[in-house]
Amino acid sequence: MKYALLCCYAASRCPGSEMNTSMSIMEIESVELAQGDRNLVNKTYIFRSVICVEVDAEEEEYDCADRRIYECAYPGDIQKFHAVSSPEELVPLCRNLHDYLRCIDHFTRKCLEPPQRSHFNRLFSGTSMIIQEICSEGHYQTEFLKHAACMKHLHVELDVCAQTYHGKIEKIGNNHQIGNNICCPLREYMNCINDVVLLRCGEVAANFSRGFNERLFHAILTTHCVSEETDCNFFPNANGGPRKLPQEILLLLLAVTTCLIHFTSS
C-alpha cells in the first residue's frame, strides 16, 4: 500500500492529470464513483498512470543506506518471543520472522552484487533453517518451547550479553581498520549466553542454547574465523593471510545477529 500511495502521488504529477496530491487512493476512488461513467476515460488514464509509475516509484524510494538493514533487523514483535509457551502463540511471531526473511532477501537482491549476495546467503543459510524449524511442528519446535519457559526469565542477564556484543560489533562496523574482527565478539557473546543459561536453567537448557547458537553462527565461524585458540585479529584465507570481509556483508551480519539477539534473549 505504501508504494501504491506513492504511485498515486506520482501519477498526480503526470501531464494532464488533475488529481489533488493530498488525496488518498480511497478518496480518489470515491470521487470517480460519484462522477459516474462519463469520466471513464479519465479513470482509465489515472489507472494506467499508476501502473506505469509504480515500478519507478519503488526503485526511486529504495536506497541501500544502513538504516535499511536495521529496518530488517527489528521486525515488530520479535522481542516477544520469550513469552511464547504454545505453538498457537508462535503463529503471529513466526509471521514476523518470515517478514524478516523476506526483508533480508529484498535488501540483498537490491543492494549486493551477485558474489556478495551468494556469500551472504551461504552465511545466512543456518539462520533460515532454524527459523523454519521453530515455526514448523516437530521436535525442534517442542524443545524450543520447553526451554523458552525458563529462558524468558533471563531477560536482564542476557541483555547484558547482547548489549556488550552489539556495542563491539557496531564499533567494528564503523571502523574499516578493524572491520575483519567479528570472531572474538561473536564467541564471547555465545559463551556469555551459555554461562547464563547454564547457571539459571540447568545443563539441558544450556545444551539446547549452545546448539541453537552454534547452528546460527556455524557458517560464519567456519568460513571466516580461525580456531578459538588462535589470535582472532584476522581472518585466514586459503594462503594463510588476512582476508577482508566486505563492509556490506559485515553490516548485514550485524543486522542478522542483532535480530537474533532479540530472538533468543529478549
Low-confidence ranges of the chain (pLDDT < 70): 1-63, 65-71, 73-83, 172-181, 224, 226-266
pLDDT tens sequence across 107-150: 888 888 888 888 888 878 888 888 899 889 999 999 988 888 88
Task: Report pLDDT for 262.
Answer: 56
Inter-residue contact 247 to 169 (CB < 8 Å): no
Listed by start position, the domains of the chain span: 2-61, 66-265
Q: C-alpha 150: how far from its chain's center?
A: 26
How far, in Å, are 35, 159, 232 from residue 164 at the CA level? 62, 8, 18
Which residues are CB-contacts of 252 (< 8 A; sequence separation ≥ 6)?
Answer: 69, 104, 107, 108, 112, 120
Integer Cα distance of 101 and 136 in angstroms: 15
What pTM was computed for the model? 0.62
